[in-house]
């Protein structure tokens, strides 16, 4: 069953409301669960918040987030847990379970710098065990080869540890096929000269389930990082597209919707490059409608690029009360008016399924990825049989 088949009911419900101009519960939710982090990366957009000691006192408690899930007002397809470093929180499995039980959550993405292994490994295993149908992706922030990464992350030894975390998670995947290990590389000034060597390492050595690249966005702790060569980003994106189509890089999530989700990720790169080049919208953004963002201290926004609308603590942690407020309605009107940016998970990810012109092309790419996987799996199976009989 394809992604759309599984999601048809949810999407159709939302398409119907969209046609009537009525808002609906988000299908894609980003929660920045904490402003605590053991790193200070030079490209981080959240540095000011990480350094704000007062802010930490207002961090949402477990019961606040559980109440958000209870009042979300609908089922949730994708939950992205980010920060800060999410694994600094001891309640991540409880948060995942709340959305799994209350909102029939399909996929969770856990963004991590890969350092706190004593939390990451047991927590991921607990989530997989306690949520038996949930697809879990651990997205490890890796910004290049060892020297580049350690310099960008301002933490010697952090590359070796993050790579080791990736390899340990790959072992865990042997027991839990619903786990995907993803690398997430932010393309920036400091790593753009060695991007292709880095991609070679990912493709031939580490071989994660999914290779993701993000276009750096402001603010950055070191503003010079925002100066990047668009053509290089484009070339890398094209390489990823071709390797995914031919099966030379795995580059697909597991599960029945995995190829569709991968196709969305891969397809968006060229749109992002075009947006940057032409400085105009290439799709209608549905941030604030299909997708939303909740910050660590309870504020809610359509996306990380526009200021928050309000704080959930002023709405007794009732998400729907804030989501259907007049202020949010005004934000939707602003977004509808041709707003554009390069934000992968806030703009493109929640919006592409609601842009029919793009959806048709994504479905075509999904078919190519599935066909490539089948060819690769057939070759691997033949090789296994040959080895067993020799
Ligand atoms: S980019 Fe992530 S890991 Fe780096 S400082 Fe920011 S929150 Fe921490
Ligand atoms: S285009 Fe970007 S800035 Fe505008 S609403 Fe969408 S995600 Fe936010």
Question: What does the pLDDT profile of the chain (390 residues) look like in tens digits?
Answer: 444 455 556 777 787 788 788 889 999 999 999 999 999 999 999 999 999 999 999 999 999 999 999 999 999 999 999 999 999 999 999 999 999 999 999 999 999 999 999 999 999 999 999 999 999 999 999 999 999 999 999 999 999 999 999 999 999 999 999 999 999 999 999 999 999 999 999 999 999 999 999 999 999 999 999 999 999 999 999 999 999 999 999 899 998 889 999 999 999 999 999 999 999 999 999 999 999 999 999 999 999 999 999 999 999 999 999 999 999 999 999 999 999 999 999 999 999 999 999 999 999 999 999 999 999 989 888 888 888 777
Nearest protein Cα to ligand 1, atom 5? 40
Find, among 268, 288, 6, the residue nearest to 133 by Cα: 6
E strands, 43-170, are: 78-82, 107-112, 135-141
Domains and CATH numbers, the chain: 3-389 (3.20.20.70)
Find the length of the chain. 390
Count CA atoms closer than 13 A to 219's CA, side-chain side.
Answer: 6
Q: Which residues pair with 291 in a beta bridge?
A: 28, 287
Q: What is the distance between the alpha carbons of residues 319 and 336, in angstroms, rounded to a whole number?
A: 22
Q: What is the distance between the alpha carbons of residues 356 and 13, in angstroms, rounded to a whole number?
A: 16
**Cβ atoms of 123 and 92 closer than 8 Å:** yes
This prediction's pTM: 0.95
- Looking from the CA of residue 335, the nearest atom of ligand 2 is 5
Q: For residue 197, with 0-12 CB atoms within 10 Å meaning exposed, 13-18 middle and 19 or more buried, which class applies?
A: exposed
Residue 81 has phi, psi (to 5 degrees) of: -105, 120
Helix (H, G, I), strand (E, B) or coil at 387: helix
- Determine the distance separating the centroid of ligand 1 and the alpha carbon of 81, expressed in angstroms: 13
Nearest protein Cα to ligand 1, atom 7? 84
DSSP string of 279-309? TS-SS---BTTTEEEE-TTSEEES-SSS---
Q: What is the distance between the alpha carbons of residues 380 and 389, in angstroms, rounded to a whole number?
A: 14
Structure tokens at 226: 């925002």
Q: Is the CB of 139 under 6 A from ligand 1?
A: no
Q: For residue 75, with 0-12 CB atoms within 10 Å meaning exposed, 13-18 middle and 19 or more buried, which class applies?
A: middle
Structure tokens at 15: 């398409």
Q: Where are the alpha helices (DSSP H) in 174-298?
A: 195-201, 230-246, 258-278
328: Cβ contacts below 8 Å, ≥ 6 apart: 23, 288, 300, 302, 309, 310, 322
The pLDDT assigned to 2 comes to 45
The pLDDT assigned to 277 comes to 96
**Cβ atoms of 59 and 27 closer than 8 Å:** no
Q: Is the CB of 306 under 6 A from ligand 2?
A: yes
Q: What is the distance between the alpha carbons of residues 294 and 369, in angstroms, rounded to a whole number?
A: 33
Summarised one tens digit per residue, pLDDT across range 83-123 is: 999 999 999 999 999 999 999 999 999 999 999 999 999 99
Q: Is 110 left (phi over 0), alpha (psi -120 to 50) or beta?
A: beta
The pLDDT assigned to 256 comes to 80
**Cβ atoms of 173 and 179 closer than 8 Å:** yes
- Looking from the CA of residue 186, the nearest atom of ligand 1 is 1
Nearest protein Cα to ligand 2, atom 3? 305
User: Which ligand has its closest atom nearest to the C-alpha of 342?
Assistant: 2
**Cβ atoms of 288 and 331 closer than 8 Å:** yes
**Cβ atoms of 252 and 263 closer than 8 Å:** no
Structure tokens at 167: 């390899």
Q: Which residues pair with 138 in a beta bridge?
A: 110, 181
The pLDDT assigned to 247 comes to 93
198: Cβ contacts below 8 Å, ≥ 6 apart: 144, 145, 148, 185, 191
355: Cβ contacts below 8 Å, ≥ 6 apart: 283, 284
- Determine the distance separating the centroid of ligand 2 and the alpha carbon of 341, expressed in angstroms: 6
Find, among 250, 254, 234, 256, the residue nearest to 342 by Cα: 234
Q: Are strands 310-311 and 299-301 parallel, antiparallel or unpaired?
A: antiparallel
Helix (H, G, I), strand (E, B) or coil at 36: coil
Summarised one tens digit per residue, pLDDT across range 323-366 is: 999 999 999 999 999 999 999 999 999 999 999 999 999 999 99
- Looking from the CA of residue 84, the nearest atom of ligand 1 is 7
Q: Is the CB of 309 under 6 A from ligand 2?
A: no
Provide the 8-state DSSP code for 28: E
């Amino acid at each position: 069953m394809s992604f759309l088949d599984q999601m048809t009911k949810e999407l159709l419900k939302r398409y119907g409301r969209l046609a009537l101009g009525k808002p609906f519960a988000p299908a894609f939710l980003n929660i920045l669960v904490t402003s605590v982090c053991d790193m200070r990366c030079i490209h981080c957009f959240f540095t000011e918040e990480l350094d704000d000691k007062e802010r930490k006192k207002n961090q949402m408690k477990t019961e606040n987030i559980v109440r958000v899930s209870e009042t979300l007002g609908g089922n949730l397809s994708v939950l992205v847990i980010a920060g800060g470093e999410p694994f600094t929180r001891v309640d991540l499995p409880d948060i995942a379970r709340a959305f799994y039980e209350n909102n029939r959550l399909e996929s969770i993405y856990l963004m991590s710098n890969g350092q706190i292994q004593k939390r990451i490994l047991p927590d991921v295993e607990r989530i997989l065990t306690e949520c038996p149908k949930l697809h879990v992706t651990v997205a490890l922030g890796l910004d290049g080869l060892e020297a580049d990464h350690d310099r960008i992350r301002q933490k010697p030894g952090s590359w070796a540890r993050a790579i080791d975390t990736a390899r340990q998670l790959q072992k865990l995947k042997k027991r839990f096929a619903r786990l995907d290990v993803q690398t997430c590389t932010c393309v920036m000034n400091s790593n753009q000269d060695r991007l292709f060597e880095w991609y070679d390492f990912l493709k031939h050595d580490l071989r994660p389930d999914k290779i993701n690249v993000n276009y750096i966005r402001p603010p950055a702790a070191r503003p010079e990082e925002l100066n990047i060569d668009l053509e290089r980003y484009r070339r890398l994106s094209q390489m990823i597209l071709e390797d995914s189509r031919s099966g030379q890089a795995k580059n697909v999530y597991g599960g029945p919707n995995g190829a569709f989700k991968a196709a969305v990720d891969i397809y968006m790169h060229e749109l992002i490059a075009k947006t940057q080049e032409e400085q105009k919208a290439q799709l209608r953004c549905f941030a604030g409608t299909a997708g939303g963002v909740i910050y660590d201290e309870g504020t809610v926004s359509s996306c990380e690029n526009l200021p928050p609308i309000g704080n959930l603590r002023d709405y007794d942690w009732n998400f729907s009360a804030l989501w259907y407020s007049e202020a949010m309605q005004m934000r939707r009107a602003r977004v509808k008016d041709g707003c554009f940016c390069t934000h992968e998970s806030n703009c493109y990810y929640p919006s592409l399924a609601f842009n029919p012109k793009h959806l048709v092309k994504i479905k075509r790419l999904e078919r190519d990825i599935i066909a490539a996987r089948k060819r690769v799996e057939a070759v691997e199976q033949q090789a296994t049989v040959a080895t067993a009989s020799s």
